Amino acid sequence: MKKIIIVFLIGLVPLLLQAQKAEGTVYGKISLYFIANKGQVNPQAQFYTKTSLYTLWMTKKGLIFDSPHSPYSPYSTKPYLRDVSRLIFLNADKNPVMVPVDITGHRVNYFKGRDPSKWRIGISTSRAVMYKSLYNHIDLKVYGIERQIEYDWMVKPGGNPGDIRFEYKHVKGTRLDDEGNLLIETGSGKWVHKKPVGYQRPGAACPSSGNKNQIDIDITFKKIDKNTYGFAMGDYDKNLELIIDPVVLVYSTYFGGQNEDYSTAIAVDSEGNAYVAGYTLSPDFPTENPFQESLRLNEGVYYGIDVFITKLSSSGDSLVYSTYLGGSDYEICTGTAVDSSGNVYVTGYTSSKDFPTANPFQENIKISAGGIVQDVFITKLSPSGNTLVYSTYLGGYWYEYSGGIAVDSSGHAYVAGTTASEDFPTENPFQENLRKIDEGYYEDAFITKLSPAGDTLVYSTYLGGSGYEDVGGIAVDSKGYAYVAGLTPSEDFPTENPYQSNLNQPFSDAFVTILAPSGSRLVYSTYLGGSEIDEAAGIAVDARGNAYVTGSTTSTDFPVMNPHRQFREIVDGDENVFAVKIRRFPFSIQVYRREERAWLIRKQAAEILLTVDNPGDIPVSNYVIYRKESIGTDQYQAIKDFPAPEVQGGIYTYYDLLPRGDRAYTYKVEALDADGVVIGESNEQTI
């Protein structure tokens, strides 16, 4: 029986907190960045940026604030509405020059659709945008502070601040409060432009100011018409530049959805750079309507959702790149991984017939007779994020979901998920066909290993019983074993050397499965759960091949060993969280030796005794004994290869005939599985 250790998730909380802290630190330090329009969005927008609450579109005519009117969910059955309000520059230059200010190293890539000529690569970003000479001798600088938008009017000598006029359109109303703040009421909530600050900075020190190089100027908003405003000025030096700063544009109340971006996966490379992946609403320039349905709805899922992958620097203070992937319909990201070279792998599922592909194993999406369109996608990005090394569909004529992705040291991608397709592509499978009961509800898990080039399946197999399976995650160890976890209500889910042999009915249990490197054999597979609902949501593996599984359970009899704390009582369908450690190979090999004189053959003989502690659940195929000279070489040579005895455990003896003399030799023994992969190793012993 496998040894299994179960603890509560609190033992993993510090790791999770570190990840959350890292993400929060990064986003707290990184200012907003403005993306130049190089043809990826409507040409009216010269630049744009996204805050946590809205998208800001910057046009020649003014600023457009595009915010969710209702909470956004990709599976909502309600129309998704956006609230669009506009700040229009009145009597201004109709064709002002707009230039980026403080250009960053962050680059943005758009792989949108199937046509490479429409992809946009290496788009620059900046921390601010300047409207040059929007009014005579007056510039406007727009930038971000703490994830919010701020803008400064910069009145040069010869400019008249009284020329500045701006109107709010598509709002419910505007007014000035008693403190001089400008309140703008929209369908999403109330905006606040705080009372403006005016100042000048002469070359000489100014003792009257808190800032020795700054003179504060009295300035207020001035209402000119219903929703039109300008500024009322106190005295100021017309020979110096005047800065008018309405401080930060914020929400006082907000009724809409607060996110259009959903982060679903994160990976970290050896240098500490983080790769965050998820899905987002496609940049969609608004029409003139104040309220509009942004996305088309089909089968309860919105079209217009793309995948994003953002690389964050290890220092936590800058973005390296952001890449967007998508077609004309929807994409949902479910996993990401990064290899030792910095290539990024991302997977999910899509309904887009024009999802971008490159060097694909499967070039086109498959469509069922009933019109169901949903396949898995797998994409490998270059280290700079601006090249598709490969991008492929994976699926059959029904539907698929991806549950995660892992990558080994050779660049093979391992993807696991769920399929309902009877023609899902298989190669060297452990399970060749989808298992189902009559025409009832059925889904099986799948595990697929792709070549480093992405155009060939190394193996691909179904995994499941006659019910359904959902995959929560996949991991791979240094030997190429794939570890998969999820949930199943199938009574006939395939098991191998299980900790728990049978489903605890009547609901679902978690499952944990280890697949051999060939893909055609299970090394280990077990149910895991109590009498209620148990689900594995993620899995990881350490250097020793131990698996770590996390998930949730409503079972009060979930198996527990070495718990951090006892399960709390389940109330009203609430859940407990679990963490499980499974020791994969609980056996050891020890080498002993004994020297004897065999005078008849006049040579020394070393008697090597192998003591193998093997409970019998490890698929050892054979043992190989290696020898090297202890001094003078680092190269081992195999001197004996013999099959594993049928008996479990014990002492096995092998005589090695040594040359005459006093040479010292070092020995080691490896245990191999049926695929020739090392699954156990002795410590070196010197004779």
Tell me the pLDDT tens digit for each residue of 268-327.
898 989 999 998 876 566 655 444 444 433 333 444 688 999 998 887 778 899 999 999
Tell me the pLDDT tens digit for each residue of 526-542.
999 888 888 999 999 98
Window from 26-40, 286-300, 427-441, 540-554 with minimum mean pLDDT: 286-300
Instruction: Give residue 20's pLDDT band: very low, low, confident or very high (50, 70, 90).
Output: very low
Rg (CA), the chain: 32
Name the residue with higher pLDDT: 520 or 559: 520
> What rounded mean pLDDT belongs to the chain?
80
Window from 49-53, 192-196, 503-507 with minimum mean pLDDT: 49-53
Name the residue with higher pLDDT: 256 or 239: 239
**Is a pLDDT exceeding 70 seen at residue 48?**
yes
Window from 299-303, 484-488, 644-648 with minimum mean pLDDT: 299-303
> What does the H/E/C string look like for 510-560?
EEEEEECCCCCCEEEEEEECCCCCEEEEEEEECCCCCEEEEEEECCCCCCC
- Of the chain, the percentage scoring pLDDT greater than 90 comes to 48
Instruction: Give residue 70's pLDDT band: very low, low, confident or very high (50, 70, 90).
Output: low
**What is residue 607's predicted lDDT score, i.e. its pLDDT?**
54
Length of the chain: 687
**Token pair 């995959």: residue:** 471
CB atoms within 10 A of CB 389: 18
**What is residue 189's predicted lDDT score, i.e. its pLDDT?**
77
**What is residue 26's predicted lDDT score, i.e. its pLDDT?**
41
Q: For domain 588-686, which architecture applies? A: Sandwich (2.60)
Check: CB of residue 528 under 8 Å from CB of residue 546.
no
For the beta sheet containing 650-658, the strands, ordered from the edge strand earlier in sequence to the opposite edge, are 588-598, 603-613, 650-658
**Is a pLDDT exceeding 80 seen at residue 593?**
no
What does the block give as tokens for 636? 């081992």
Tell me the pLDDT tens digit for each residue of 539-555.
999 887 888 898 888 88
Window from 18-32, 265-279, 495-509, 642-656 with minimum mean pLDDT: 18-32
**What is residue 103's predicted lDDT score, i.e. its pLDDT?**
94
Considering 257-261, 430-434, 655-659, the range whose residues carry the highest mean pLDDT is: 430-434
Instruction: Give residue 601's pLDDT band: very low, low, confident or very high (50, 70, 90).
Output: very low
In three-state secondary structure terms, 614 is coil
**Is a pLDDT exceeding 60 seen at residue 254?**
no
pTM: 0.80
**Is a pLDDT exceeding 80 seen at residue 355?**
yes
In three-state secondary structure terms, 683 is coil
Name the residue with higher pLDDT: 663 or 274: 274
How far is the C-alpha of 294 from the C-alpha of 551, rounded, in Å? Answer: 35
How far is the C-alpha of 344 from the C-alpha of 359, rounded, in Å? Answer: 16
**Is a pLDDT exceeding 50 seen at residue 656?**
yes
**What is residue 65's predicted lDDT score, i.e. its pLDDT?**
87
**What is residue 579's predicted lDDT score, i.e. its pLDDT?**
83
What does the block give as tokens for 579? 């963490």
**Is a pLDDT exceeding 50 seen at residue 209?**
no
CB atoms within 10 A of CB 546: 18
What does the block give as tokens for 573? 């369908």
How far is the C-alpha of 347 from the C-alpha of 331, rounded, in Å? Answer: 10
**Is a pLDDT exceeding 60 seen at residue 31?**
yes
Window from 127-136, 163-172, 538-547 with minimum mean pLDDT: 538-547
φ, ψ of residue 260 in degrees (nearest 5): -115, 0
- The helix or strand, by DSSP H or E, that contains position 453, with its residue range, turns out to be none
**What is residue 78's predicted lDDT score, i.e. its pLDDT?**
59
**What is residue 563's predicted lDDT score, i.e. its pLDDT?**
60
Closest C-alpha to 378, from 343, 408, 405, 407: 405
**What is residue 574's predicted lDDT score, i.e. its pLDDT?**
63
Instruction: Give residue 678's pLDDT band: very low, low, confident or very high (50, 70, 90).
Output: low
- CA distances 328 to 281, 283, 287, 324, 656, Å, are 12, 12, 19, 13, 68
**What is residue 340's predicted lDDT score, i.e. its pLDDT?**
93
**Is a pLDDT exceeding 80 seen at residue 615?**
no
CB atoms within 10 A of CB 174: 20
Instruction: Give residue 373's pLDDT band: very low, low, confident or very high (50, 70, 90).
Output: confident
- 8-state DSSP, 16: H
**What is residue 567's predicted lDDT score, i.e. its pLDDT?**
56
- Mean pLDDT over residues 381-406, rounded? 95
Window from 265-269, 302-306, 587-591, 606-610 with minimum mean pLDDT: 587-591
**What is residue 84's predicted lDDT score, i.e. its pLDDT?**
84
**Is a pLDDT exceeding 70 seen at residue 612?**
no
How far is the C-alpha of 305 from the C-alpha of 294, rounded, in Å? Answer: 11
